[in-house]
Amino acid sequence: MSEIVFNIISGIAYLVLAPVVGGLLAGVDRKISARMQRRVGPPLLQPFYDFFKLWGKQPIAVNEAQSFYVFGFLLFVIISGLFFFTQGDILLVVFTLTMASVCFIVAAYSSNSPFSQVGAERELVQTMAYEPMLLLVALGFYLNCGSFSIETILNAPHMNFIYMPGIFVGLCYILLIKFRKSPFDLSMSHEAHQELIQGVVTEISGRTLALIELAHWYENVFLLGFVYLFFAWSATWSPVLGLAMCALTYFNDILIDNCCSRVKWEHMLASTWLVTLVAGFVNIMFLMYMR
């Protein structure tokens, strides 16, 4: 019984706190990036100011349907995160996340504007690039812990990372795509120096754009949760290590973002699939024969 209560509480905590944490992460990101470029950077709370500014704008749209798809994107990201934080099934999380990506892509397609469509197609290629690795992450946990359930994974007898270092490397690689960081920020970028017209979200403005920001904050939080799973086991001090590793991974991604320029889609697809094969799949084979 207490377990159910705990799950409900953590689900509600996710709903309320994830946007706060996600927004702060975005603020930290901008601050650190600025410092790396020898700028002062915006205040830490700037993403929230931006969000509320967008929220108050006059509603403008290019068609009636688009905001529905964006809403679907937000909804499925939230549902996907809820499955994660209520310790549900990790495959279900991945599948629901895919559903969210499809909604996002269709939102961009629906405007029928050239810039938007280029963004949508690139986003689609990105999805195709990272999807195999994300599935392998889930399968790796299944092989290592004997279950897709996050509850079981969190209570593993040993640190998962020890048995799945290759899969962790693969996950870090695709997180660059998911966080929309250079060199893989093909479909849209937060940096003004990368593009003047912002790919997927070209035709989205005002409150709808704010919803997309919100969805990304939710998404980033539980993507870092995947990192956390690698360093969580039954030991009491593992949460500290897990959180530290999440922070380190995030910092690392910011660093790479500031060191790299955007690559062509061919390079992204080929390199991601290569990493999936070499790091992810070899690790999976290893786990399979260990069983």
Partner 1 sequence: MSLPALLTGVPLAAAILVFCLRGNGSRNIIVKIAAAVTMALSVATGVTYFGHPVFIKSTGTMLSTVIMAVDVIAALAILYYTLVKFKKIWIAALELIQLGLILWFEQGVGHSIRLSADLAIDNLAVIMVLIAGIIGSLIAVFSLGYMEEFQKEHPEVEDRRPFFFFVIFLFLSAMFGLVISNNLLIMYTCWEVTSFCSFLLIGYTQTEEAIHNSFKALWMNLLGGVAFALAIVWMGIEYETVELSMLINLGRSAQPVELAVALLVFCGFTKAAMMPFSGWLLGAMVAPTPTSALLHSSTMVKAGVFLIIKLCPVLGGNHAGLMTMFIGGATFLFASCAAISQSDGKKVLAYSTISNLGLIVCCAGIGSYEAAWTAIMIVVFHAVAKSLMFLSVGTAEQQLGSRNIETFDGMFCSMPGLSLCMIIGICGMFLAPFGMLISKWAAMKAFVDAGHPLLLLVLVFGSSTTLFYWTKWLGKITAYIPSGKNREEGIHGVQWLALRSLSALTIITCILFPLVSQCAVIPYLEAAYQTSADVIDRNNLLIMSMMVILLVVLPLRFGKGRKKKLVVTNLAGENSGDNLSYRGVAGQTVPVSLRNWYMESWFGEAKMKLCGFILCGSCLLIEFAIICGGAFHV
Residues at the interface with partner 1 (CB under 8 A): 58-69, 71-72, 75, 79, 83, 88-89, 91-92, 95-96, 98-99, 102, 105-106, 108-117, 120-121, 124-125, 127-129, 131-132, 135-136, 139, 142-143, 148, 197, 202-203, 269, 273, 276-277, 281, 284-285, 288, 291
Token digits of residue 246:
């999440």
- Nearer to partner 1 by Cβ, of 107 and 221: the residue is 107
Indicate the DSSP class of residue 58: P
- Nearer to partner 1 by Cβ, of 203 and 257: the residue is 203
- Nearer to partner 1 by Cβ, of 48 and 71: the residue is 71
Taking the complex as a whole, the smallest distance from the CB of residue 229 to partner 1 amounts, in Å, to 18
Taking the complex as a whole, the smallest distance from the CB of residue 285 to partner 1 amounts, in Å, to 5
Residues 6+ apart with CB under 8 A from 287: 140, 143, 144, 163, 164
Taking the complex as a whole, the smallest distance from the CB of residue 57 to partner 1 amounts, in Å, to 11
- Nearer to partner 1 by Cβ, of 48 and 142: the residue is 142
For residues 143 and 246, what is the distance between their CA atoms, to the nearest angstrom? 23
Closest CA to 74 of 180, 215, 208, 178: 215
- Nearer to partner 1 by Cβ, of 38 and 291: the residue is 291
Residues 6+ apart with CB under 8 A from 94: 134, 135, 137, 138
**What is the SS3 assignment for 22-48?**
HHHHHHHHHHHHHHHCCCCCCCCCHHH
Taking the complex as a whole, the smallest distance from the CB of residue 188 to partner 1 amounts, in Å, to 14
Taking the complex as a whole, the smallest distance from the CB of residue 143 to partner 1 amounts, in Å, to 6
How many CA atoms does the CB half-sphere of 47 hold within 13 Å?
21
Residue owning tokens 């495959």: 91
